[in-house]
């Protein structure tokens, strides 16, 4: 909650910088995509209540699909001789990230790059809060039950986040295959990390 308060304050401006936008961070002024989407929805006659209903139904469908994918996928990969942790770190992670991919692609098409970045980093910032929910549901702390593979994945996630944090600070301009140096480093680290996870899991 304190983080959300600080985030709202940072959105209004930082004391060490005029405004809060990074250089070349967006082709159009802040909030332009919201205005475009509201205008498009108004032109189509979509009300706020209908939009909320669609959002709620979609969220429920995502929740149900997530449970189905986890149960069926883990059973399938277990029959193939793969461990659950490998399935979770690859297939399940890719499947559950599809909503973020959709949001990222849509926001990029609208020219609102900050929405794409905030969607990814915001999700990473919120997900650890689910440990509290898991603890409340199970009635006992879940972190002490973490396996060595869980700790390994935590470290891998931290390293990947640090790579992009460095990219945000230094903003490398050079690209290879239309990817920045930070993105290439993240892909390489992820592949090496998954290979190491496979070794650790077996």
pLDDT recorded at residue 35: 64
State pLDDT tens for residues 118-153.
Answer: 888 888 888 888 889 889 998 888 888 888 888 898
Place of tokens 């940072």: 10
Residue 78 pLDDT greater than 60, yes or no:
yes
* Cα 158 versus chain centre, distance: 13
Residue 41 has pLDDT above 70, yes or no: no
| Contact by Cβ (8 Å): 197, 89 | yes
pLDDT for the residue numbered 85: 75
90-109 pLDDT tens trace? 777 887 788 788 888 888 88
Max CA distance (Å), the chain: 57
- Percent of the chain residues topping a pLDDT of 70: 82
φ and ψ at residue 146, rounded to 5 degrees: -65, 140
Quick one: pLDDT at residue 22?
59
């Amino acid at each position: 909650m304190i983080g959300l308060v600080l985030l709202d304050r940072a959105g209004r401006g930082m004391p060490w910088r005029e405004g809060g936008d990074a250089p070349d961070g967006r082709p159009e002024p802040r909030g332009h995509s919201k205005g475009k989407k509201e205008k498009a929805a108004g032109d189509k006659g979509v009300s706020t209540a209908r939009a909320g209903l669609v959002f709620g139904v979609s969220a429920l469908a995502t929740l149900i699909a997530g449970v189905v994918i986890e149960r069926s996928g883990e059973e399938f990969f277990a029959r193939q001789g793969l461990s659950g942790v490998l399935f979770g770190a690859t297939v399940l992670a890719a499947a559950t990230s599809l909503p973020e991919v959709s949001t990222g692609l849509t926001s990029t098409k609208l020219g609102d790059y900050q929405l794409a970045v905030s969607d990814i980093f915001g999700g990473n910032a919120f997900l650890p809060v689910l440990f509290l929910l898991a603890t409340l549901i199970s009635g006992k702390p879940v972190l002490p039950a973490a396996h060595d593979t869980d700790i390994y994945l935590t470290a891998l996630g931290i390293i990947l986040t640090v790579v992009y944090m460095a990219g945000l600070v230094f903003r490398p301009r050079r690209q290879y295959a239309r990817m920045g140096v930070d993105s290439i480093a993240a892909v390489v680290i992820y592949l090496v990390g998954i290979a190491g996870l496979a070794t650790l899991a077996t």
